[in-house]
Amino acid sequence: MTASDPCQEAERLVELHRLDEQRLREARRRLNAMSTDFEQSMPVTDRSQLAAAKAQAQREYRQAYREATDQAAVQRAASVWLQEVSRLNRAAGLAANRGENAVGQLNALESKVRRLELEVDASRIRAEGARERCNEARRSAAAAAERQAGAGPWPVARPGPQAGGGEPAIAALLHGDRSVLEGVAATLADETGMEAGRLQLLIIELCEEIAASALDAAAIRFPDGHEFWDHFEPQEAHDLAATLGQLGYRFDGRAGWLDERVPHPRQFAFALAHNGLDSRVRRLPTQAQIEGLWRGAQLETPQHLARRAPDLSLEQIQTMLGSRGAALDELWENWAHVRRALVS
C-alpha cells in the first residue's frame, strides 16, 4: 500500500469504528450492572411496602405485649417497636436520597449510551464508505493487471483435464487438494512477501466462503435415478431446494440436512405447493425418506463460481461473496497475484 492508497484511510476508519463499538459495549455493560444493583440493593422505599413493614413491627409488639409477664417486659416491647419504626423511617429517607443519586447516574449513563450508539452508526457509515472506496481502487488496479495479462474466463466448468495439462488450481482447491494448496501458497509467498502459512489459511477461508455462497444459491447436482428428484426438471429441483432453504431446511453440502434440521412431511408439502410441484408427486415422501433425501447429491461449488465469477475478477468475486469477504482483505490487496495463481 502507498501513502495515497485509500485503503490506508479505510483501515484507520475501521479501527476507529472498532474502538467506538468497544466503548459502546463497555457503557452498556456498566448500565446493565448499575440497573441490576439499583433494583437488587435499594431498600424498601414505596409507601405500601413501608406501611407493611411498620405493620409487621406492630404485630410483633402486640405479640410481645401479650407474652409480657411484668411492666418491664411491656416497656421493652414498646421500646423495640418504636426503635424499629424509627429505623424504618431513617432507612426510607436514606434510600430516597440514594435513589435520587442512583437515578441521576442511570439517566446520565443512558444518555451516554444513546450518544455512543449514534457515534457508532456514524463511524460505521464512514468506515463502510471508505472500505468501498478501497475496494474500488483495488478492483481498478486488479482489472488493469488482468487486461495487461489478457485474462479471460477460467475453464473450471469443463470437467476433466484442461488443455494445459490439468484442472485450474482453484478447482482443485475447492475439492480440498492439499498439495495444490501448499503449492499456491508457496508461489504467492514468493510474489507477495506474505507468510505461506498465513496464505494457506486465507485461501482455505476463501474456498469455504465460496462453498457457503454455493449453498446459499442451492447450487446442487441432484443424483440421477433418484426416486424423488427424478420427478422434476433440474430447475424445478433447484427451486424446491431453494424454497426449503428459505424455510430453514438446507443441504449441508455432503449428504444430509444442515445442522440436522429436517422438515416434516407437512412442511415438505408446503414447499412443493409453493413451487407448484405438488401435482408431480403421487405420494409424499415419508419422514425417513426426507431424512435421506440428499444422499447422492453434490454441491457444485466450482460450477457456481464459474457462473458468478466467470473471469475471477476482484469485482465479480467480491460481489458474489458480499459481506462474507470482509475478512479477506489481504487477498484482495494482492488479487492480481492471487488470481494468476488460482487460474494456473
Summarize pLDDT for 72-96 with one digit per residue, the tens: 877 887 888 788 777 776 666 655 5
CB 23 within 8 A of CB 115: no
Report, as an integer, the average pLDDT of 10-38: 83
User: Has residue 262 got a pLDDT over 90?
Assistant: yes
User: Has residue 41 got a pLDDT over 80?
Assistant: no
- Name every residue whose Cβ is closer than 8 Å to that of residue 27 and which is 6 or more positions away in sequence: 109, 112, 113, 116
Q: Which three cell numbers stand for residue 79?
A: 421500646
Sign, Cα dihedral of 230, 235, 237, 238: positive
Report the alpha-carbon distance of residue 237 to residue 222 in Å, rounded: 8
User: Has residue 4 got a pLDDT over 70?
Assistant: no
Report, as an integer, the average pLDDT of 59-76: 80
Q: What is the mean pLDDT of the chain?
A: 82
User: Has residue 3 got a pLDDT over 50?
Assistant: no
- Name every residue whose Cβ is closer than 8 Å to that of residue 112 and which is 6 or more positions away in sequence: 27
What's the pLDDT at 53? 76
Nearest alpha-carbon partner for 305 in 334, 335, 343 = 343
Q: Answer whether 0.85 is exceeded by the pTM.
A: no
Confidence grade of residue 279 (pLDDT, cut at 50, 70, 90): confident
What's the pLDDT at 150? 58
Residue whose entry in the numeric block shows the C-alpha cell 464508505: 129
Confidence grade of residue 264 (pLDDT, cut at 50, 70, 90): very high
